[in-house]
Amino acid sequence: MKEYFGNVSKINYEGPGSKNPYSFKYYNPDEVIGGKTMKEHLRFSLSYWHTLTANGADPFGAGTMLRPWDDITNEMDLAKARMEAAFELMDKLNIEYFCFHDRDIAPEGKTLQETNENLDEIVAYCKELMKKYNKKLLWGTANCFTNPRYVHGAGTSCNADVFAYAAAQIKKALEVTKELGGENYVFWGGREGYETLLNTDMGLELDNFARLLQMAVDYAKEIGFTGQFLIEPKPKEPTKHQYDFDTATVLGFLKKYNLDKYFKVNIEANHATLAQHTFQHELNFARINNFLGSIDANQGDPMLGWDTDQFPTNIYDATLAMYEILKNGGLAPGGVNFDAKVRRASFEKEDLFLAYIAGMDTFAKGLKVAHKLLENGELENFIKNKYASFSEGIGKEIVEGKVGLKELEAYALKNNEITNKSGRQELLEAIVNQYIFED
């Protein structure tokens, strides 16, 4: 098999002192942290679309990426070359998992039938390479947003023929995900949203979207697909209002349609910030609702209002994300998928390695710091103490449901001096900094 990245060899752990850009400074796969190896904690995954198919085009200019498969013109040959390159990358970067949309890995044909045949051919090849390289599929999904037929959405389209097409596509994507042993299946909203309510029946669109999800749940049962279903929230882009706005909205939606027991969330950092939340907020909210499934690790630019999907290099955010993930007891069967793309000006093939190394090292270091923070319990103890009034006296009675408004009025009438304690935000931020600097 051709080598696509011959000038880069296997990336090894060399430790924080290393100046070799092609080495891990913090990601040491077999290092044990709190009873699990880093590899088991992090379950890193490569995103097929950003890594193998993105060409760097933006609304102002054509693609810039220089890739070793640029000279291949036959679409199926190109798909196979990218597949081989994907496994070489995963192998050299020591990444165990990957994720894809159906249309990332195989080209669309003239008919749905032909498209499915293309997919089958590539999936067979993918299966072979997975075995050869010992790699696993974290999740599969269907791209129901790129093709112009999805102009009004897929499951929320006003056109029943489009709904049917999306259903057929999802059916096939589920079969393929099962065939490759995928551990999860993702629904990201795509164009499930609206531009203006002047032309939108939001009630019907949401009911139909729930119908589509129910059909997927039923079909998974029928074919014996036991992976976890995930919904990936995003507040805007491509539509002005995306129905899966954020984790809380998704949970409310699923509960309304009695679908909540079948789904968890795949939380993307950049989508959290577009919804005006921190990544930690979304993870925390999912965790306390037993709803955290997997993450798309990336970062946005705080000065831009769109989805930039940059590789995550912010150690502060990664630490707090890993803090929530550790408190969640890990992510499995989910993982840390780098839904991130190199910048348009980082167009050389080596940039792919450098970007993944940066992201993996950031999360590895974040894991180490978060573990120490949790182990020493400084934040946990502070929070416990802050809410101590609910473990005794009147607070305990409130929590245990033993008092109502009348009893609380009687209590408040007698309790003339209320004292509060400081929230100590600056101290806590300094403690987190200290752990990041000193670890």
Q: Are strands 36-37 and 136-141 parallel, antiparallel or unpaired?
A: unpaired
Task: Report residue 126 as tokens.
Answer: 């993918």
Is 301 annotated as a binding-site member? no
- Binds Ca ion by CB under 5 A, chosen from 296, 317, 324, 361: 296
Neighbour count for residue 32 (Cβ, 10 Å):
11
Is 271 annotated as a binding-site member? yes
Q: For residue 202, what are the CA distances in angstroms to 48, 192, 196, 208, 214? A: 33, 11, 10, 10, 18
Task: Report residue 129 as tokens.
Answer: 């390479």
Q: Footprint of ligand XLS on residues 386-425 (CB under 6 A)?
A: none
Best CA proximity match to 233, nearest among 280, 278, 269: 269
Sign, CA torsion 370/373/377/378: negative
Q: Footprint of ligand XLS on residues 125-164 (CB under 6 A)?
A: 141
**Does 102 interact with ligand XLS (rule: CB under 6 A)?**
no
The site partner of 141 among ligand XLS, Ca ion, none (C-beta below 5 to 8 Å per kind) is ligand XLS
**Does 270 interact with Ca ion (rule: CB under 5 A)?**
yes
Residue type, 266: N
Q: Are strands 292-296 and 336-338 parallel, antiparallel or unpaired?
A: parallel
- Contact predicate 282/233, CB 8 Å: yes
Q: Are strands 36-37 and 32-33 parallel, antiparallel or unpaired?
A: antiparallel
What one-character DSSP code corresponds to residue 50?
I
The least distance separating Ca ion from the CB of residue 297, rounded to whole angstroms, comes to 10
Catalytic residue among 41, 50, 104, 317: 104
Q: Is 274 helix (H, G, I), strand (E, B) or coil?
A: helix
Q: Footprint of ligand XLS on residues 53-92 (CB under 6 A)?
A: none
The least distance separating ligand XLS from the CB of residue 247, rounded to whole angstroms, comes to 14
Q: Footprint of ligand XLS on residues 338-377 (CB under 6 A)?
A: 339
The least distance separating Ca ion from the CB of residue 268, rounded to whole angstroms, comes to 4
Is 438 annotated as a binding-site member? no
The least distance separating Ca ion from the CB of residue 308, rounded to whole angstroms, comes to 8
**Does 317 interact with ligand XLS (rule: CB under 6 A)?**
no
- Binds ligand XLS by CB under 6 A, chosen from 96, 232, 317, 361: 232
What one-character DSSP code corresponds to residue 53?
I
Neighbour count for residue 78 (Cβ, 10 Å):
17
**Does 246 interact with Ca ion (rule: CB under 5 A)?**
no
Give yes or no: 104 in active site.
Answer: yes
**CB under 8 Å to 294, separation ≥6 — which residues?**
138, 139, 184, 186, 228, 230, 264, 265, 266, 267, 331, 333, 334, 335, 337
**Does 307 interact with Ca ion (rule: CB under 5 A)?**
yes
Task: Report residue 295 as tokens.
Answer: 């993450």
Is 309 annotated as a binding-site member? yes
Task: Report residue 190 as tokens.
Answer: 């795509």
Q: Is 133 helix (H, G, I), strand (E, B) or coil?
A: helix
Is 268 annotated as a binding-site member? yes
Is 70 annotated as a binding-site member? no
- Binds Ca ion by CB under 5 A, chosen from 88, 205, 246, 268: 268
Residue among 54 and 370 whose Cβ is closer to ligand XLS? 54
Task: Report residue 379 as tokens.
Answer: 């934040």
Catalytic residue among 41, 101, 277, 371: 101
Give yes or no: 41 in active site.
Answer: no
**Does 307 interact with ligand XLS (rule: CB under 6 A)?**
yes
**Does 244 interact with ligand XLS (rule: CB under 6 A)?**
no
- Catalytic site residues? 101, 104
Q: Point out which residues bind ligand XLS (CB under 6 A).
A: 101, 141, 186, 188, 232, 234, 268, 296, 307, 339
Binding-site residue numbers are 232, 268, 271, 296, 307, 309, 339
Q: Point out which residues bind Ca ion (CB under 5 A).
A: 268, 270, 296, 307, 309, 339
